[in-house]
Structure 1
Amino acid sequence: MKELDSILKSIKNKAFLPVYFLHGEEPYYIDVAVKSFENDVLEEDEKAFGQTVTYGKDTNIAEIISLAQQFPMFGNYNLIIVKEAQDLKFGEDECKILESYIENPVPTTILVFAHKHKKVDSRKKFAKTLQKNGQLFLSEPVKEWNLAKWIADECFALGIKTAPNISHLLAEYLGNDLSRIANELSKLKMILKEGEILDEKLVEMHIGISKDFNVFELQKALGQKNAEKAMKIAYYIGKNRNSTPFVKMMGNLYFYFSNIIIYHTMHGQSQQAIASELGILPFFVKDYAEAARSYPLKHATKIISILRETDLKSKGLGVNQTDDGELLKEMVYKILNIDKVKVKL
C-alpha cells in the first residue's frame, strides 16, 4: 500500500480523514494500518466508550452508518473499525446508504473499513466517491521481482544488519507472504545480539532454511557451472520435497535465466541500469556477469526451453508421470551440458 506511510503519519499527527476504506489482495498493509488505528487514535480511557470494532459477517452497512452517525460520549472522536469488510453485502441499497454518508460524514467519527484479500468493485459509485475524496487505499501484493528489496528495506527499518544475499534467500523461501516475513524478521530482531550480522548460518538456525541446499545456492552453482555442487544440491532438494515446492523452484530458475538473457541484451550499460532492469540489488550484477560468461545468449535461450519442458513433464504432459526429484536432476544435468544437448525451441 503506497499510502501506508501517509496513513500512519496522519494517525500520529491526529490529522484524520472521516473515512478510510482499505482494500486489496495484500492483507499485511491493511493489518498494519488497522493495528495503528486501534492502538494510536484514542487514549486508553477513551476506548471503552469511543472505540467500536465489528466484523463484516456480523453486521451490515445500515448498522455501521448508524454507529457512525453517533457523537462521542467522551473525548473528541468515535472510532469505528469494520474488520473483514469483504464479508459485507454491497447491494444497491447498501451502496446508496454508504455513498450518502461518505458525501456527508460526521466530523467526529473516524470510520475504517478493512476489506481484505480482494479489491472493492471500482465501478460502484461509492468507490468512485471514496477515490475522489482520497479515502480509498489499495493494498497490492509485492511483485516477486521486488520482494528481496522489500525484505532488505524491512531489515533496514528494523535495524537488522544482513549479509548481502540474505534478502534474496528469504524471498525465495518465504514467498510473498508479507505477514510471515514480518513475523520472522521481528523474531530475528529479538534474537540477534547488538551488531550481529544476519547470515546464512543464523537463517538456517532460526528459520530452518538450509544455507547450503536451496534454490539460491543452486542458481549460484549453475551460474558458476559448478557441476558437482549443482548436482549435489539437486539431489538434496529432490529428496527433501517439503523444503522447496517444485513449482516455486521452477519459477525462480525461470526468472534467473530470463535475467541472464536480459543481461546479454544490456551488455555495456551501467551496473545501476542493469540492476534496475533486472530488479535486483547492484551487488548481484557481478553474479549475472559471471553467469552470462558461462551461458552465451543462445545457450541461455535454450535453457528457457528446457525449463518449460521440465515444467510440462512435472505436470504429466507428454510423458508418464516422473518423480520431481528425477526431473530436477535431469534438468540440472541438461543445463550444465547445454552445449551438447539438443533442444526443441
Structure 2
Amino acid sequence: MKELDLILKNIKNKEVLPIYFFHGEEPYFIDVAVKALEQDFLEEDEKAFNQTVTYGKDTTYQEILSLARQFPMMGEKQVIIVKEAQDLKFNEEESKALDAYAENPVPSTVLVFAHKHKKLDSRKKVSKTLTKLNALFLSESLKDHTLPKWIADECLRLKIKTAPNISHLLAEYLGNDLSRISNELGKLKIILKEGQLLDGTIVENHIGISKEFNVFELQKALGAKNANAAFKIAYFMGKNPKNNPFVMLLSSLYNYFSNVIIYNTMIGQPQQVIASQMGINPYFIKDYAEAARLYPLKHSTRVISILREFDMKGKGLGAVNMDDAELIKELVYKIINVDKIKMKV
C-alpha cells in the first residue's frame, strides 16, 4: 500500500497533517498508521500532556472537536486519536461540525480518526472536504489473488528469505486476516537466523501448517494428476478437519481451477501476460501449463461443476452421513477422473 508507506515516512520525518480520517473494510492498514502516529510522533515526555486516546463509544464529535481546538501544553503539537470512530454518533449535526473543523483545522493539533470496517458516506459534504484536503484515507480489503504478493512483500520488508511457495502456503492457510499474518511473520523473523531460508519445515514447526499435507500440495498433486499423492494428502487432511476446513479447501480449489480455465483460454499468449491475468507469480506458470494440458477447457470447467456439487454436499444436501474426510476423498476421486465421469445434465 504505497499511500500507507508515504504516511509512515512522513510521520517518521515529523511531517504530519492536521487531520487524518482513516476508513474502510480492512482494519490492518488503519491500525498500522494509527500505531505510528500514537507511538512515533511525539516524544515520550510529551505524550503525558499532549496525547489523548479515546474511543468512539465513549465520546462525541462535539467533545473531540472541543479538545482539538485547545492548544498543546509545553510543546508544539498535540495528538488526539479516536479509535473505533465508527461507533461515534454521526448525524447531520455532527457531520456539519466535523466539516467546519476540517475546513479550518487547528495547526498545532493532529486529529486522527480510525473508522474501521466501513467507509465514510461519500455523499456527505465532510467526505468531499476531507478528500480535498488529502486527509481521507481508504483502507480496502485485499483481493484473495493479491494476498500472496502482499505476504511476499512483507517478507521482503522484514528481510525474510523464503522458498518460492511460502507466500501462497501462508495465504491459503492463514486467510486474509492481515493482522494474524503480520504477527506470524513477526514471530518467524525472531526465530530465523540471519540469512536462513523460510521453508515448509519451519512453517510447519512454528505455525502448524503441514509442509506435505496441505491444500497447496493437494492442488499441485491434482494439477499433475498424481493420484497417489492426491489421495495420500486427502487422507491426512481428512484426519485433521480442524486445520483443513472443507469450505476453505473448496474455495482454494475453485480459485486454482478457475486459473486453469484462464490459462486454457489464453494459450499462445506470453506467459507473463497470462500470469498477470491470473494474478499469480510467474514462477508458478509452468505448473498451470501442465494442469491445463491435463485438464483442457472442457474438463477444467467440469471440475468447477464438481466443486459446486461438493459445496452443496458440504452443506448437507445430497451427502447423507458423509463427514469431511469422506467428502474430501470423493472430491479428489472425481477431479482426478473428471475425463471419465459422466456429468449430470
The aligned residue for residue 209 of structure 1 is 209
The aligned residue for residue 296 of structure 1 is 296
How does 1:19-58 map onto structure 2 within 5 Å?
19-58=19-58
SS class of match (1:210): coil
- How far does residue 321 in structure 1 lie from its aligned partner after superposition? 5.3
Query: Structure 1: 5+ residue runs without aligned partners?
Result: none
2:243 and 2:319 map into 1 onto residues whose CA distance is 25
SS class of match (2:209): coil
| TM score, norm. by length of structure 2 | 0.97
For residues 206-264 of structure 1, the C-alpha deviation after alignment (integer angstroms, 9 at most, x for no partner) is 10000111100100110111111101111111121101121111011001011011101
For residues 92-138 of structure 1, the C-alpha deviation after alignment (integer angstroms, 9 at most, x for no partner) is 11111111111111111100001112212222221121112111101
The aligned residue for residue 242 of structure 1 is 242
- How far does residue 2 in structure 1 lie from its aligned partner after superposition? 4.7
- How far does residue 319 in structure 1 lie from its aligned partner after superposition? 4.7
1:134 is aligned to 2:138: no
The aligned residue for residue 124 of structure 2 is 124
The one-letter code matched in structure 1 to 2:160 is: I
| TM score, norm. by length of structure 1 | 0.97
For residues 178-208 of structure 1, the C-alpha deviation after alignment (integer angstroms, 9 at most, x for no partner) is 0000000011011001111000011000100
2:140 and 2:344 map into 1 onto residues whose CA distance is 38
8 Å CA contact 1:27–1:116 kept in 2: the answer is: yes
- How far does residue 293 in structure 1 lie from its aligned partner after superposition? 1.6
8 Å CA contact 1:238–1:326 kept in 2: the answer is: yes
1:57 and 1:128 map into 2 onto residues whose CA distance is 25
1:268 is aligned to 2:268: yes
The aligned residue for residue 219 of structure 2 is 219
The aligned residue for residue 5 of structure 1 is 5
Percent identical among aligned pairs is 70
SS class of match (1:242): coil
The aligned residue for residue 334 of structure 1 is 334
How does 1:133-172 map onto structure 2 within 5 Å?
133-172=133-172
The one-letter code matched in structure 2 to 1:151 is: I
Query: Structure 2: 5+ residue runs without aligned partners?
Result: none
1:12 and 1:2 map into 2 onto residues whose CA distance is 15
The aligned residue for residue 91 of structure 1 is 91
The aligned residue for residue 180 of structure 2 is 180
The one-letter code matched in structure 2 to 1:216 is: F
> Where does structure 1 differ by over 4 angstroms across 4 or more consecutive aligned residues?
none
For residues 47-94 of structure 1, the C-alpha deviation after alignment (integer angstroms, 9 at most, x for no partner) is 111111111111110000000000111221111000111111001111
8 Å CA contact 1:57–1:84 kept in 2: the answer is: yes
- How far does residue 13 in structure 1 lie from its aligned partner after superposition? 2.2
The one-letter code matched in structure 2 to 1:38 is: E
SS class of match (2:242): helix
1:12 and 1:262 map into 2 onto residues whose CA distance is 44
More displaced, 206-215 or 114-123? 114-123
- How far does residue 318 in structure 1 lie from its aligned partner after superposition? 4.3
The aligned residue for residue 322 of structure 1 is 322
- How far does residue 313 in structure 1 lie from its aligned partner after superposition? 1.3
2:294 and 2:246 map into 1 onto residues whose CA distance is 25
SS class of match (1:243): coil
For residues 240-295 of structure 1, the C-alpha deviation after alignment (integer angstroms, 9 at most, x for no partner) is 11011211110110010110111011112112111111111010001101111211
8 Å CA contact 1:147–1:176 kept in 2: the answer is: yes
1:189 and 1:33 map into 2 onto residues whose CA distance is 21
SS class of match (1:90): coil
More displaced, 317-326 or 102-111? 317-326
1:293 and 1:93 map into 2 onto residues whose CA distance is 63
1:146 and 1:214 map into 2 onto residues whose CA distance is 20
More displaced, 178-187 or 313-322? 313-322
8 Å CA contact 1:19–1:112 kept in 2: the answer is: yes
- How far does residue 316 in structure 1 lie from its aligned partner after superposition? 2.2
Please report the RMSD computed on the Cα atoms of aligned residues, expressed in angstroms: 1.2
The one-letter code matched in structure 2 to 1:266 is: M
2:122 and 2:244 map into 1 onto residues whose CA distance is 38
Pair 93,155 (structure 1): closer, same or farther in 2 beyond 3 Å: same
The aligned residue for residue 311 of structure 2 is 311
1:82 is aligned to 2:43: no
SS class of match (1:225): coil
1:147 and 1:243 map into 2 onto residues whose CA distance is 20
2:263 and 2:46 map into 1 onto residues whose CA distance is 58
